[in-house]
Chains A and B, each alone.
Chain A
Amino acid sequence: MQHDDVIWDIIGNKQFCSFKVKTKSQNFCRNEYNITGLCNRSSCPLANSQYATIREEKGQCFLYMKVIERAAFPAKMWEKVKLSKNYEKALEQIDENLLYWPRFIRHKCKQRFTKITQYLIRMRKLVLKRQRKLVPLSRKVEQREKRKEEKALIAAQLDNAIEKELLERLKEGTYGDIYNFPVHAFDKALQQQDEESESESEEEEEEDDEDVGKREFVAEEEVEESDLSDFEDMNKLRTSSDEEEEEDEEELSEEDEEEEMEVETKASRSKGKSPANGAAARKKRAYVEIEYEQETEPASKSRATS
């Protein structure tokens, strides 16, 4: 026969209950039919012959009821009632099914049902929002990649590559007339290179020869001033080593000061490096006209250097 008190006396306090989980302050009940989740005299499904719960399966809520008449048939002990999806209607159903049941069980059933519907709603909302996909990292692979990256960095020799590329662009004339270096030095540099640049230097020399005979009335200084006005900061930078550059600087500094007053001066750049050669060696400008029609800067930019 079903003696609830005896059962509770045994499993509640004195002896072992396999569903009980003890913590410092609370006792929990792991039985899946438990309505509150705590281990109490009134919440224990084993120690109450008349008991009801709400359980949820795949988004559907069911009301489970147990009565003493069926205590002898364990297979048919729990009666399962499907609750409506409508919240109010479901509450009415609970009331209707648990009519005349103890107030505690009715109350707790409704509370549990409310909580379950709330978390189901939340689940449905979260699915619609952005899902965060967690991608597991394999430590071995990550370490391998890190090592490969280090080796690749060493192999890349970035600074050299960048400098080489910049010098190539300078030689090809993508910078136009901004940088002007003394011709003889330029020629020397070219002659040291291979065939292409040899032909270039030949052209240069030809041009030089042509120009030697001509008389040009080139207002050099004015031209330089107009160029300088674009590069307001170049004036601030002082040369370090070359004598030529210093001389030129002295010449140009007077003109530059005027320009400086007009133009907004930005913060001085590249403190640590030697100054722009805009300040240097402008005098040879007249007859170094290497006209390579490099009009498409985008082309040079987008070309993928291999």
Chain B
Amino acid sequence: MDITEVPVSQDNRGKKKKNKKPKKKKSVAEEGDGGGGGGAEKKEEKMEKSEAASAFPPTFSVSEIKNKQRRHLMFMKLKQEKRKQKMQLRKKKKKEREALGDKAPPKEVPKTIENQRVYDETTVDPEDEEVAFDEGTDEFSAYFNGLTNPKVLITTSDRPRGRTVRFCEQLATVIPNAHVYYRRGLALKRIIPQCVARNFTYLMVINEDRKVPNGMVLCHLPDGPTAHFKVSSVRLRKEIKRRGKDPTEHSPEVILNNFTTRLGHSIGRLFAALFPQDPQFVGRQVATFHNQRDFIFFRFHRYIFKNEKKVGIQELGPRFTLKLRSLQKGTFDSKFGEYEWVLKRHEMDACRRKFQL
């Protein structure tokens, strides 16, 4: 009887402070009856402690209570207390702010990962001459000086499944002057000279795993850098809600957001060179590569200016996310290539606020 009664009363004591005193007396009486010994004494101590905790500021943490139910209840109480205090604090602050009116101190900016980002010393300064010089003479300079027009060859890994094939087709509609070819077991190193001979500027290989595209190798052709990405969250056109009609043949504009570091810069140029230099504004189509925390989101929209302050956008084509895995200097050569940058998970995942792109 004692065994069954005691826990219940103790729980109650935990919950309600009002009934503390009478219950305490009762419990002491009960324990006296229950028989002495270490057990009862220990229980007394604990009960007193927990009572003390509920009465006074806790001198010990909730985790010291061994009984799970009691501990849980104490924890819930603690949480409620904290929440209440927080609400009170907020109300007070709000009142103060209203009272002060204009003189109130500005609202504190919440900390975000972007705010707290570790400063990367390779961040490109817009006026940096060295960077400008590099960009004037790197592999993309031909494109940016208007000498070459992009011509993209899209292919897959061996034996692509339906989803990948459709993805490639949709990509080909998004990127002007793109051709899709089946792989048929050919080696990339043999395809590359043929592509160069036919004036292709880009080779894009979509890698597939378990019927879903999961990787992309983007190789700039004459002897340009090769980037290997991990592809995720592919949404084909029919899976996009509220989408517009199919994209037309006009060359889209390109938006590149947030490519700040040197590496990001070169990747940004890699993407920019996929599309023709002069976009046809008639088409009102825009392809966006947005970098956020090292994930590059690709979207393809049609926009329309309602007035000079508002623009409406409607998503058309496929959307996918890229994450850079490696950047290699020459054309695709996994064995002997010279890697400019490789994703090393252990090093780079260590800090949450450090990003590469």
Q: Which residues of A contact B (CB under 8 A)?
A: 129-130, 133, 141, 144-146, 148-149, 151-153, 155-156, 158-159, 161-163, 165-167, 169-171, 175-176, 178-179, 181, 185-186, 189, 230-231, 266-267, 269-277, 297-298, 301-306
Contact = CB atoms under 8 A, between A and B. Distances in A.
Interface in B265-292: 265, 268-269, 272, 275, 277-279, 281-282, 284, 286, 288, 290, 292
Contacts of A148: 293, 295
B307 A185 contact: yes
Contacts of A159: 313
A153 B296 CA distance: 9
Nearest to B312: A273
Nearest to B214: A137
B297 A153 contact: yes
B76 interface: no
B25 interface: no
Nearest to B256: A304
Given A149-B232, A270-B245, A302-B269, 8 more contacts: A129-B187, A151-B293, A153-B321, A167-B311, A272-B244, A298-B278, A301-B253, A302-B256
Contacts of B303: 162-163, 166
Contacts of B244: 269-272
8 contacts: A153-B297, A156-B292, A178-B281, A266-B248, A269-B244, A276-B284, A301-B272, A305-B256
Contacts of B187: 129-130
Given A153-B295, A179-B305, A306-B260, A269 B286 contact: no
Contacts of A141: 345
B155 to A, nearest CB: 14
A16 B278 CA distance: 82
Contacts of A129: 187
Interface of B: 112-114, 124, 126, 144, 146, 185, 187, 232-233, 242, 244-245, 248, 253-260, 264-265, 268-269, 272, 275, 277-279, 281-282, 284, 286, 288, 290, 292-295, 297, 299, 301-309, 311-314, 321, 323, 334, 345, 349
Contacts of A231: 282
A56 B70 CA distance: 70
B55 to A, nearest CB: 42
Contacts of B297: 152-153, 156, 158
Contacts of B286: 162, 166
A163 B255 CA distance: 11
Nearest 5 pairs of A and B residues by beta carbon = A156-B292, A152-B293, A304-B259, A181-B308, A152-B292
B313 A162 contact: yes
B245 A302 contact: no
Which of A158, A272, A303 has most chain B Cβ within 10 Å?
A158
Nearest to B232: A149
Contacts of B245: 267, 269-271
Contacts of B275: 301
- Chain A: interface secondary structure? helix
B295 A152 contact: yes
- Chain B: interface secondary structure? mixed
Which of B112, B256, B308, B309 has most chain A Cβ within 10 Å?
B308
Contacts of A165: 255, 257, 288
Contacts of B277: 297-298, 301
A175 to B, nearest CB: 5
A274 B255 contact: no
Contacts of B248: 266, 269
A189 B301 contact: no
Given A149-B295, A165-B255, A166-B313, A277 B306 contact: yes
Contact of A274 (B254, B304, B321): B304
Given A155-B293, A269-B244, A270-B244, A170 B308 contact: yes
B227 to A, nearest CB: 16
A170 B292 CA distance: 24
Contacts of B232: 145-146, 149
Given A155-B292, A304-B264, A161 B312 contact: no
A128 B134 CA distance: 39
B330 to A, nearest CB: 18
Nearest to A274: B306
A61 B146 CA distance: 62
B258 A189 contact: no
A270 to B, nearest CB: 6
Contacts of B282: 178, 230-231
Given A189-B308, A274-B312, A156 B290 contact: yes
A8 to B, nearest CB: 49
A161 B286 CA distance: 13
B323 A155 contact: no
B191 to A, nearest CB: 11
A304 B144 CA distance: 14
A135 B331 CA distance: 21
Contacts of B294: 152
Contacts of A306: 258-260
A267 B311 CA distance: 22
Contact of A167 (B259, B301, B309, B321): B309
A96 B272 CA distance: 72
Contacts of B290: 156, 158, 161-162
A197 to B, nearest CB: 11
Contacts of A274: 304, 306, 312
B304 A270 contact: yes
Contacts of B309: 167, 185, 189
Contact of B258 (A175, A181, A305): A305
Nearest to B254: A301
Contacts of A267: 245
B314 A162 contact: no
A153 B255 contact: no
Which of B185, B256, B281, B297 has most chain A Cβ within 10 Å?
B281
B311 A149 contact: no
